Amino acid sequence: MSSQDFKVLKVDVKRTPNITQAIDSDTGEVKIGVKHSSVKTYKLSLIVQPNGLPLYPHNQFLYSRISEGKESTATEAQALLAFERFLSSINKNFQSLSSDQEEGAPWLFADYLLDNLKEIDPVTDKVINNPEGYSISTARSYIGIIINFYKWLHSNGIFFITKNQKPFNFKTVTIRKGQKIDQHKMLAHLTNFRKAIVVQTTDLKSRFPKIQSTPSHMKLKPMTYEDKDIFIDYLNNNYTKGLKKTKSLMFRLKIATGLRVEELATLPASGVHYPSGNEGKIPFLISLANGCETKFNKPRKIEIPYELMLELYEYLHDDDRDELLKKGVKSLQEGQRKEINAREEYIKKYGQENASKELKPISDDFEHGRLFINENGLPYSVSTIKSEFSVIRKEIRKTYPHWYYKLHDLRSTFATHWLKENCETRALIFDLLMDELADLMGHESTEVTQKYIDFMNDKAAKLEFSRRKNLLASEALG
């Protein structure tokens, strides 16, 4: 563990310590202490931040567990430790919530836990993949503790759950006179107003299967061809102008190439060119060398369909984009001026020692190199892209209630559709396409790619079984 990491510290505490106070006769200072007693102590696991300070309000929550009768808080501390380490890695905190629970910290943490589960063979009960990952039971326990943490924050008035700050589903109910309140289900700080909040967390916890042995390929949820058409049609009909047109281009590019969202946000403008001839698909290199943030820093070539490359070229040279770029440069220059002024003030007061490095001025022709830019002339953030997809999903479901996909499903849609199309056009079995797909997807090893092969083989087997069953039924009917 790095010294610059969150750590767990164990201390002995009493459930109900007797606080003492005494006045120093010389100074008049009031000194607070804990009265010595032989009362039993309990193991309280606390979390210490990288700066050495205790983590608030997490430690208060941990102590409340001891006060309520727990012998130890080791499991709760480990859950909050994993939660805080994850949030720190993505520059978020427990208050990072919105009206859409799927954008909030608990849901993102659940995604992280699901992505890092160990896989166990259902027959031998042995670990067959990701041995360092979480077990299902641990992951379910951790997410349950995080849910209780938010309930505790709310009921103690530290951080309130609202419709605009929603870690999970909840509803407000009116309490009738004389009605008993289940404190484990309700957040009762509102009971003075005859209101209470009932927490509904089945949607969050149910994401974790009770059986450990769910194969990774069964967790995939690629779009059907029909649902992909629904998605593309919605974009073509509703995202046709201005920034919406840009976002449509981004999402269509993602589902056509299998780009990760981080790669989409940092896609370089330098590789975009006018497609010559009538090429079917155009190779496009993405790597750290041209500014694209690929996973594992692994360079790879994606394949962009001809029509999409043509749209990218037109977007790159659009006058509106040029104006936004100028706006972005001005914004960066203004931010830099503030930093320079702050540095100069620091030097006046404290001298050159420990002052930040002198900044190189941003010129008017500065280019950040990203292809897609927002209304401020700056690159899109990953969270903005995810939020926009959530908006699209919500609108599509008004007409097609079954249409529930996450942004990452666009990537599995690309992989499975690519396998099907290449299997049919090249007369190759799925397994022989694995190395090629691994290169297109940017996988570090084909072990990751295997889940897409397994998914397609499983689907093909089910289709063949249905075909034979229908054939036998037809023969039986004569």
The pLDDT value given to residue 186: 40
Neighbours of 345 (CB within 10 A): 10
In this predicted model, what pLDDT tens digit does every residue of 185-222 receive, in sequence order? 444 444 343 445 555 555 677 777 665 556 677 788 99
The closest alpha carbon to 362, from 322, 326, 321, belongs to 326
Lowest-confidence segment of 13-22, 44-53, 170-179, 226-235 by average pLDDT = 170-179
The pLDDT value given to residue 357: 83
Residues 6+ apart with CB under 8 A from 218: 455, 458
In this predicted model, what pLDDT tens digit does every residue of 76-108 receive, in sequence order? 999 999 999 999 999 999 999 988 888 889 999
The pLDDT value given to residue 336: 87
CA distance 225 to 100: 27
In this predicted model, what pLDDT tens digit does every residue of 128-173 receive, in sequence order? 777 888 988 899 999 999 999 998 999 888 988 888 888 887 655 4
The pLDDT value given to residue 22: 73
Does the predicted TM-score (pTM) go above 0.75? no
CA distance 470 to 123: 31
The pLDDT value given to residue 246: 98
The pLDDT value given to residue 398: 96
- Is residue 379's pLDDT more than 80? yes
The pLDDT value given to residue 1: 39
Q: Give CA torsion, residues 273, 278, 283, 284, to 10 deg.
A: 20
The pLDDT value given to residue 194: 42
**pLDDT tier for residue 450 given thresholds of 50, 70 and 90:** very high
Lowest-confidence segment of 41-50, 184-193, 311-320, 455-464 by average pLDDT = 184-193
CA distance 197 to 201: 12
In this predicted model, what pLDDT tens digit does every residue of 253-286 receive, in sequence order? 999 999 999 999 999 999 999 998 777 899 999 9
